C-alpha cells in the first residue's frame, strides 16, 4: 500500500479534465434514473416470506381477499340529522360509489334491511331508505329505527352512544398497491370531502389503512426536501464557522450536492421505493460527506501553511489523507451494510443504498476537492487563520490536562456512568405501536384517534375458523363456539365488536321474527332447522354469506378491529385470544388461527428488533476484525472497542430513563452510531502508532502528540455530525426524530470517549501494550510514515 496512494494522486492530478468529465457524465446518467424512483405504495414487508405468520396471512387473503382495503368516513354532528345535510351525506356516498377505484360502499344510502317474505317464505333485503326523507320527523324515525332495531349494523355504520354515522368505501383490490390509489385519495377523495364540508359546514373524519398509508407517504415525500435544505444549511454554517472561507464552504457544498444527486440516482437505478428510511439517505450523505471535506481541506491548508507549494500540497492531500478517509468511510459503510443480511426488504434496501452512497461520497470528495483546488490560487493568509485558533488550543489543552492529571477521575466517572446506564437499560422495554411514529400534527393522525374513540380502532385483526368439513361452519355447535369467542373479544376494551357469520345468523332469526330486536340471537336447535331452510332459499342472504364464509361452507372469518396499543399489551391480547381459541375449538375438530395486519405488525416488530440486535453484533464483529487486521493486536482491538461501546451503553441507559422504547426506529441508532464513531478511534490510533515510530516508542509523548494532532479534526467532524444528525429532530415522524436525537447524543458521547477515555487507557495500560507484538508494523499504514516525523501543525 506504500506506493499506492502517491500513484493515485498522480493519476488524479494528471487527468483532471477527464475525471471531471467522467463525474459529470456519471451524474447525468444517474439524474436520468430519477424517473424510476417510486414512492412506497405498499406496506413494508418486515416478516420474511417463509415466516408462519406470513404464510397464515396469505392463506387468509387467498380465501377472503385483502382485508385492509377499506376507507372510512364519519360524522359526529347532530346537524347531520336534518333533511338537507342528511340527503347531502347520502349523495356523498353515491358520488363515492361512482368512482371506478371504489369496489362498493356500505352507507345509509344503500343500507339493506333483512326481512322475511311470509308469502314466499324467503329472506329479502329491502332498502333502509325507501325514499329521500324530506322532514325532520322522517329522519328522526329512520334514526330511531337504525339505532334501536338494527343491532347488526351497530359499530359498522353507527355508534348509538354518540350518534356518529359512518360510511365504508372498499377500494378496488387491483389498485391497492399502485399509484392510482394515491391519486384517488389525494385528489378525488380529498376534493369530494372538501366540497361536502364547504356546503354543510360539518367536519368529515376520514381514515382506514389505505388512507393512512397514502397520506403517510406524502408526508415522507414532503420532508425529503426539508431535510436536504436543513442539512445543507446547518453543515455549511458550521463549516464556514470553522474555516472562515466561502471558497472552502462552496466546494464542500458542491461535493455533497453531487452526492445527493447520486443518492437519488442509485435509488432510481436499483428501482427501490422511497420509504421512511430511504428518504433519510440524501441528508445522511450530506452529514457524513462533510467530515470527508473537513479532513481533506484541513490537510490541504496545513500543507500550504507549511511550505506554500500547491502541487505538493494537493499530492500529499490525496496520498496522506486518502487512505485514512477510505478506512473511516469503510467502517461507516459497514455499520449500514450489516442491514443487508436482514430478511426485511425495508432495511435491506436501506443498507444497500446507504453503504453504496457512503463509498460514493468518499470517491467524490477525493476526486473533486483536489481537482477544484488545483484550478484555484493558493489560499490567502486569512483562510489559514483557523489553524491557530486560541479557543481550539484551550480545548486541546483541557483534554491533555484531563488525560495527564485526572485519569482516576476519568475512570471513576466512566464507571459511575456505566453503572447508571446499566440500571437504565433494565428499564427499557420493547414496545411501540403501529401509529406511534406517525406525524402527530396531521389531520389523518387526529382522525385515527377519532375512529379509535368511536369505533374501537381501524387495524383489522382476523380469526380464521376451519371446521375441517363442508358446511361445518353453519352447524349450531360451531356457531355457538364462534359466539363464545366473540363474547371474549367484546370484553377486551381495545377490540371492536366482532362481526362474523354469527351476526348474520342472529340477524336472520330477528328477521324471521319480523324484525323484533330481542330476537337478535342465535337460534335454538329447533329454530335453526326452519331458519336455515328459509335462508337456503334466499339469494340475498347467500350474497351476504360470501363476506363471512368461503364457498364450501368449511371456513369462516371473524373480524374485529384493534385500537393502537403498545406491543406488550398487544401480546397480552394475543395470549388471551389464543387461550380462548384453545378452550372453545378442539384441535381435532377445528383449525383456528389469528391473522390480520394488526398481528403482523406485532410479529414484524419483534422479529425486526431481534434481527437489528444481530445486525449490531455483526457490525461490532466486522469492525473488530477490521481493527485487528489494521493493528494486528488483540489488546489494541479491546482498547479501541471500549470507547465506542461505552457511548452505546450510555444511550441505551438514557432511553431507559427517558422512557424511549426499543423499536425498529430506535434500534437502528446503535449500528449507525457505532459505524460512525469508530472513525475517530481509527484516526487517533493511526496517528498514535505513527507517533510511536517517530518518538522511539515513548508512549506518553506519542499519546499527547496524537491527541493534539487529531483532537481538532475529531472535534470538527463530531460537531458537524452532531448538528447534522440533529436536523432529523425537526421531523414530524416520531421514529425519525428519535433516530436524529439518539444518534447525535451517541456521537457526542463517542467524541468525549475517544478524546479522553481512549488516551487515558493507552497511558494507564502502557506496560501491557508496549511490546513488539502490539507496536510492530501494521497490516496497512493508514497514515504514511513520511509525515515529517509527526511534526505537522
User: Are the C-beta atoms of 45 and 345 separated by less than 8 Å?
Assistant: yes
SS3 for 206? strand
The sign one gets for the Cα dihedral 323, 328, 330, 333 is negative
- Identify the residue whose cell numbers are 364464509: 549
Residue segments in the chain with a per-residue pLDDT below the cut of 70: 1-2, 39-45, 66-67, 379-392, 431-434, 532-545, 630-631, 664-665, 766-793
- Identify the residue whose cell numbers are 493508514: 782
What is the CATH code for 4-42+214-426+602-790?
A: 1.20.1640.10
User: Are the C-beta atoms of 586 and 503 separated by less than 8 Å?
Assistant: no
Beta strands per DSSP E along 681-741? none
User: Are the C-beta atoms of 181 and 47 separated by less than 8 Å?
Assistant: no
**pLDDT tens figures, 514-570:** 888 888 888 887 777 777 666 665 554 445 567 788 888 899 999 898 888 877 788
Q: Rounded CA gap, 147 and 163, in Å?
A: 8
Q: Report the pLDDT value the prediction gives residue 712, as an integer from 0 to 100.
A: 75
How is residue 486 written as a grid cell?
Answer: 366473540
SS (H, E, C) 498-534: CECHHHHHHHHHHHHCCCCHHHCCCCCHHHHHHHHHH
Q: Report the pLDDT value the prediction gives residue 259, as an integer from 0 to 100.
A: 93
Q: Report the pLDDT value the prediction gives residue 443, as an integer from 0 to 100.
A: 83
Question: Which residues fall within 8 angstroms of residue 686, CB to CB, at 6 or more apart?
Answer: 324, 327, 630, 782, 783
What's the pTM value of the predicted model, to 2 decimals? 0.76
**pLDDT tens figures, 367-426:** 998 889 888 887 666 655 655 566 667 777 888 888 888 888 988 999 999 999 999 888
User: Are the C-beta atoms of 130 and 204 separated by less than 8 Å?
Assistant: no
Number of helices and strands (H, E) in the chain?
29, 12
User: Are the C-beta atoms of 766 and 699 separated by less than 8 Å?
Assistant: yes
Closest to 294 measured CA to CA, from 333, 236, 354: 236
Q: Report the pLDDT value the prediction gives residue 787, as an integer from 0 to 100.
A: 43
R_g of the chain, CA atoms, integer Å: 33
Alpha helices in 270-406 (DSSP H): 281-307, 310-316, 322-337, 345-374, 390-405
Amino acid at each position: 500500500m506504500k506506493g499506492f496512494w502517491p500513484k493515485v494522486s498522480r493519476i488524479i492530478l494528471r487527468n483532471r479534465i477527464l475525471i471531471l468529465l467522467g463525474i459529470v457524465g456519471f451524474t447525468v446518467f444517474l439524474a436520468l434514473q430519477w424517473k424510476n424512483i417510486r414512492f412506497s405504495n405498499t406496506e413494508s414487508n418486515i416478516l420474511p416470506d417463509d415466516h408462519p405468520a406470513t404464510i397464515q396471512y396469505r392463506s387468509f387473503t387467498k380465501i377472503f381477499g385483502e382485508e385492509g382495503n377499506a376507507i372510512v368516513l364519519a360524522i359526529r354532528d347532530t346537524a347531520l340529522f336534518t333533511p338537507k345535510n342528511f340527503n347531502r351525506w347520502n349523495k356523498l356516498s353515491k358520488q363515492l360509489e361512482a368512482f371506478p377505484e371504489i369496489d362498493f360502499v356500505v352507507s345509509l344510502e344503500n343500507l339493506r334491511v333483512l326481512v322475511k317474505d311470509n308469502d314466499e317464505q324467503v329472506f329479502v333485503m329491502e332498502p333502509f331508505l325507501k325514499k329521500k326523507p324530506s322532514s325532520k320527523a322522517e329522519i328522526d324515525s329512520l334514526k330511531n329505527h337504525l339505532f334501536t332495531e338494527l343491532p347488526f349494523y351497530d359499530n359498522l355504520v353507527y355508534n348509538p352512544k354518540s350518534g356518529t354515522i359512518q360510511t365504508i368505501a372498499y377500494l378496488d383490490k387491483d389498485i391497492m398497491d399502485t399509484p392510482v390509489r394515491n391519486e384517488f385519495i389525494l385528489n378525488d377523495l380529498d376534493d369530494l370531502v372538501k366540497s361536502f364540508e364547504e356546503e354543510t359546514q360539518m367536519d368529515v373524519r376520514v381514515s382506514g389503512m389505505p388512507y393512512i398509508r397514502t397520506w403517510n407517504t406524502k408526508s415522507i415525500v414532503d420532508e425529503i426536501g426539508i431535510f436536504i435544505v436543513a442539512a445543507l444549511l446547518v453543515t455549511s454554517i458550521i463549516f464556514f464557522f470553522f474555516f472562515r472561507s466561502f471558497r472552502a464552504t462552496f466546494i464542500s457544498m458542491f461535493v455533497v450536492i453531487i452526492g445527493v444527486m447520486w443518492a437519488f440516482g442509485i435509488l432510481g437505478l436499483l428501482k427501490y421505493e422511497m420509504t421512511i428510511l430511504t428518504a433519510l439517505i440524501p441528508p445522511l450523505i450530506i452529514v457524513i460527506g462533510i467530515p470527508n471535506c473537513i479532513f481533506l481541506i484541513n490537510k490541504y491548508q496545513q500543507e500550504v501553511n507549511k511550505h506554500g507549494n500547491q502541487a505538493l500540497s494537493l499530492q500529499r492531500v490525496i496520498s496522506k489523507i486518502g487512505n485514512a478517509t477510505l478506512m473511516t468511510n469503510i467502517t461507516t459503510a459497514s455499520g449500514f451494510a450489516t442491514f443487508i443480511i436482514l430478511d426485511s426488504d425495508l432495511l435491506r434496501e436501506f443498507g444497500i443504498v446507504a453503504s453504496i452512497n457512503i463509498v460514493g461520497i468518499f470517491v467524490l470528495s477525493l476526486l473533486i476537492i483536489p481537482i477544484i483546488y488545483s484550478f484555484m490560487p493558493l489560499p490567502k493568509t486569512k483562510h489559514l487563520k483557523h489553524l491557530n485558533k486560541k479557543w481550539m488550543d484551550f480545548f486541546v489543552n483541557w483534554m491533555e490536562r484531563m488525560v495527564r492529571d485526572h485519569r482516576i477521575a476519568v475512570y471513576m466517572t466512566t464507571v459511575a456512568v456505566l453503572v447508571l446506564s446499566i440500571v437504565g437499560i433494565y428499564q427499557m422495554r420493547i414496545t411501540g405501536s403501529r401509529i406511534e411514529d406517525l406525524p402527530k400534527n396531521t389531520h389523518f393522525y387526529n382522525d385515527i384517534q377519532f375512529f379509535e374513540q368511536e369505533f374501537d380502532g381501524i387495524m383489522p385483526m382476523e380469526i380464521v375458523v376451519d371446521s375441517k368439513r363442508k358446511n361445518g361452519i353453519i352447524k349450531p355447535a360451531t356457531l355457538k363456539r364462534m359466539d363464545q369467542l366473540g363474547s371474549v373479544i367484546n370484553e377486551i376494551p381495545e377490540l371492536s365488536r366482532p362481526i362474523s357469520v354469527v351476526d348474520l345468523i342472529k340477524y336472520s332469526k330477528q328477521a324471521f321474527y319480523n324484525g323484533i330486536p330481542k330476537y337478535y340471537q342465535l337460534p335454538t336447535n329447533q329454530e335453526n332447522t326452519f331458519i336455515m331452510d328459509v335462508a337456503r332459499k334466499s339469494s340475498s342472504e347467500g350474497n351476504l354469506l360470501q363476506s363471512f364464509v368461503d364457498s364450501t361452507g368449511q371456513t369462516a372469518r371473524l373480524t374485529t378491529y384493534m385500537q393502537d396499543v403498545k406491543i406488550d399489551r398487544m401480546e397480552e391480547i394475543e395470549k388471551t385470544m389464543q387461550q380462548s381459541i384453545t378452550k372453545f375449538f378442539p384441535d381435532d375438530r377445528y383449525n383456528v388461527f389469528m391473522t390480520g395486519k394488526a398481528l403482523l405488525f406485532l410479529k414484524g416488530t419483534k422479529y425486526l428488533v431481534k434481527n437489528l440486535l444481530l445486525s449490531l453484533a455483526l457490525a461490532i464483529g466486522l469492525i473488530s476484525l477490521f481493527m485487528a487486521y489494521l493493528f494486528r493486536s488483540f489488546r489494541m482491538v479491546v482498547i479501541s472497542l471500549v470507547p465506542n461501546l461505552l457511548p452505546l451503553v450510555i444511550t441505551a441507559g438514557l432511553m431507559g430513563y427517558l422512557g424511549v422504547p426499543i423499536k425498529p426506529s430506535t434500534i437502528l441508532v446503535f449500528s449507525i452510531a457505532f459505524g460512525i464513531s469508530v472513525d475517530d478511534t481509527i484516526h487517533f490510533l493511526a496517528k498514535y502508532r505513527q507517533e510511536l515510530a517517530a518518538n522511539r516508542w515513548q508512549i506518553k509523548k506519542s499519546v499527547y502528540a496524537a491527541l493534539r494532532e487529531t483532537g481538532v479534526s475529531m472535534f470538527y467532524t463530531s460537531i458537524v455530525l452532531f448538528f447534522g444528525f440533529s436536523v432529523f429532530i425537526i421531523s414530524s415522524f416520531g421514529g425519525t426524530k428519535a433516530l436524529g436525537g439518539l444518534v447525535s447524543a451517541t456521537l457526542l458521547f463517542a467524541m468525549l470517549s475517544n478524546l479522553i477515555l481512549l488516551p487515558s487507557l493507552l497511558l494507564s495500560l502502557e506496560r501491557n501494550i508496549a511490546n513488539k507484538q502490539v507496536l510492530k508494523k501494521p497490516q496497512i499504514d493508514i497514515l504514511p510514515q513520511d509525515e515529517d516525523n509527526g511534526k505537522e501543525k
